[in-house]
Amino acid sequence: MIEIRNLTKRFAQHTAVDNLSFRVQQGEVLGFLGPNGAGKSTTMKMLTGFLAPTSGTASILGFDIQQDTLKAQRQIGYLPEGAPCYEDMTVRGFLEFIAAVRGYQGAEKRERVARAVAQLELEPVLGQSIETLSKGFKRRVGLAQAILHDPKVLILDEPTDGLDPNQKHQVRKLIQSLAHDKIVIISTHILEEVSAVCTRAVVIGQGRLLADGTPLELESRSRYHQAVTLVADQALDRQALAALPGVAGVEENAREHSLSVLAKPGEVILPQVNGLIAERGWKVSELNVERGRLDEVFRSLTRGEVV
């Protein structure tokens, strides 16, 4: 388990992280969310022992990151922001160096490097110096060094930053495959990352905890939760839709003859909408019930609005 208690970091008059507390259990993939400047990277640096907190504590599998720093860090695979590497080294040389630093030698070192290379599909660039790589390949090298020693905890700061859609899919599948026996924390401001790989999400703003729940729980806080979106062949009667029981309002969408019918909190309005469609004989080509919009919840939370 990872446990953060009342973690605080101040820089002169600025409080970057403000009394933050949460726990993460084995098997969880935690999305650590917040806008730029929210304190995500500062929290990651404290959690990995690279930055001392002003107050509060953090422990990794029972090891206090300040009192048992090396024992705690041995449990961690860390991909920092920007994935800094030794740019003049080749990819192979860098990963072999990391393996040696981790204490591996001989056949075991070769096996661990080969496994990380295969998982991140780095074979085509093994002989290249890191400085010549694209941003996406540099990110993959950084992730390879983080998983090389098969750590119990993975802490990844923007793991898919700079990757193309195919590479993002590959890395997300890798994270999911690793997660069953590990704790994974992904710090990101990319909301699609949460829906794609995370089992839980924590949202912070100005260093404070704003929300903590599964992606579905956060989506259910959206005003679009249980909204019904229609696309028809002709104009739809907004007033008739708005008058249905349980309907909070009706919004026009950018697509022609498309409306979103919003549900009041706790209401399910699909049967009423379906009934009106049948009664009016509307030719509806698409009909969808929304789970909610995470981006809308995120914006509301980080703007200080109640959701």
Average pLDDT, the chain: 93
For 8-27, what is the mean pLDDT? 95
Say whether pLDDT at 89 is over 70. yes
Torsion of CA 17, 22, 28, 30, to 10 degrees: -30
- The 10 Å CB-count burial string (b at 16+, else e) for 239-260 is eebeebebbeebeeeeeebbbb
pLDDT band at 250 (very low <50, low <70, confident <90, very high): very high
pLDDT of residue 246: 97
pLDDT of residue 53: 96
pLDDT band at 174 (very low <50, low <70, confident <90, very high): confident
pLDDT of residue 268: 96
Residues of the chain with CATH 3.40.50.300: 2-220
Residues of the chain with CATH 3.30.70.100: 227-290
Say whether pLDDT at 245 is over 80. yes
Digit-coded pLDDT (tens) for 108-130: 999 999 999 999 999 999 999 99
Say whether pLDDT at 305 is over 80. no
Say whether pLDDT at 162 is over 80. no
For 163-169, what is the mean pLDDT? 86
For 262, phi and psi rounded to 5 degrees?
A: -90, 140
Say whether pLDDT at 180 is over 90. no
Which of these, 154, 298, 120, lies nearest to 112 by C-alpha position?
120
Poorest-pLDDT segment among 46-55, 170-179, 292-301: 170-179
For 266-284, what is the mean pLDDT? 95
Q: How far is CA 35 from the centre of its chain?
A: 12
Which ranges constitute the DSSP H helices of the chain?
40-47, 69-74, 91-101, 106-120, 135-147, 165-178, 191-197, 215-219, 238-242, 270-280, 294-302
Which of residues 259 and 193 earns the better pLDDT score?
A: 259
pLDDT of residue 307: 65
CATH T-level topology, domain 227-290? Alpha-Beta Plaits (3.30.70)
Say whether pLDDT at 105 is over 70. yes
For 91-106, what is the mean pLDDT? 95
The domain covering 2-220 belongs, at the CATH homologous superfamily level, to P-loop containing nucleotide triphosphate hydrolases (3.40.50.300)
pLDDT band at 144 (very low <50, low <70, confident <90, very high): very high
Which of these, 113, 166, 116, lies nearest to 136 by C-alpha position?
166
Say whether pLDDT at 131 is over 70. yes
